[in-house]
Amino acid sequence: MKKKNILKILLSIFLLLIITVISINIIVIESTKKQITNDINKLSPSECALLLGARVYKDNKVSQIVYDRILKAVELYKKGLVKKILISGDHGQKSYDEVNTMKEWVIKYGVPPKDIFMDHAGFTTYESIYRAKEIFLVDNLIIVTQEFHLGRSVFIANSFGLKSQGFVADRVNYLDWFTSNFRESFARIKAFFYVNLKPKPTYLGEIIPIEGDGRQSWD
């Protein structure tokens, strides 16, 4: 095969990949945008707020992104839009614990312990939502995270038949905005295939209904 023809084939493959990436991103964003808002008055009451984890540090310190998510979830609770808060994050190691760190902040801001549920195996957004449905028996929820992350989150929730809304947690301009959005464009591709293949999460486990006492889910 001539070198010129090989280059044409490689270029065609590259263009096809670019079109696929753009198309999937458009599908995810456009199919969920009506379910996402930064106006709390536009939200309908739901069973729980799904508070998604992200980077935390030692001594109960949290990143700005996590802090903003916590404040928004607490706001939903205090406005009476949710009866429970489900904190889902990475607690796969003793030395790193997103859920307990976030729990302490949620309690600090006045949410009763009985209304705080903890998912220690929410290692990814997909797993957090899968487990919300299968372990905590959630039917409808308000997902609390940053705007760039909400399209994918709501898209996954929709694929599980959950009645979902997205509440924008952005309170400031984040320094890594460009990097986060760039990574998210590829994370949407992964999510697109996950919702079609429906792989099981790392862990499932004992059912803990969301309408019960959240302390049953604590470690």
Considering just the CA atoms, what is the radius of gyration of the chain in Å?
Answer: 19
pLDDT of residue 53: 95
Containing structural domain, residue 140: 3-217
Q: How confident is the model at residue 8 (pLDDT cuts 50, 70, 90)?
A: confident
Residue whose C-alpha is closest to residue 68's, from 176, 172, 152, 181: 172
pLDDT of residue 11: 85
The pLDDT of residue 184 is above 80: yes
CA–CA separation, 152 and 148 (whole Å)? 8
pLDDT of residue 181: 84
pLDDT of residue 75: 98
Cβ neighbours of residue 193 closer than 8 Å, sequence gap 6 or more:
none
The pLDDT of residue 209 is above 90: yes
Q: How many domains does the chain have?
A: 1
CA–CA separation, 53 and 90 (whole Å)? 7
CA–CA separation, 49 and 136 (whole Å)? 12
pLDDT in tens, 78-112: 999 999 999 999 998 888 999 999 999 999 999 99
pLDDT in tens, 30-65: 999 999 999 999 999 999 999 999 999 999 999 999
pLDDT of residue 1: 60
* 156-194 b/e (C-beta count within 10 Å ≥ 16 → b): bbbbbebebbbbbbbeeebeeeeeeeeebbebbbebbeb
Mean pLDDT across 5-20: 86
3-state secondary structure of 25: helix
CATH code of 196's domain: 3.40.50.620
Residue with token string 């729990």 = 103
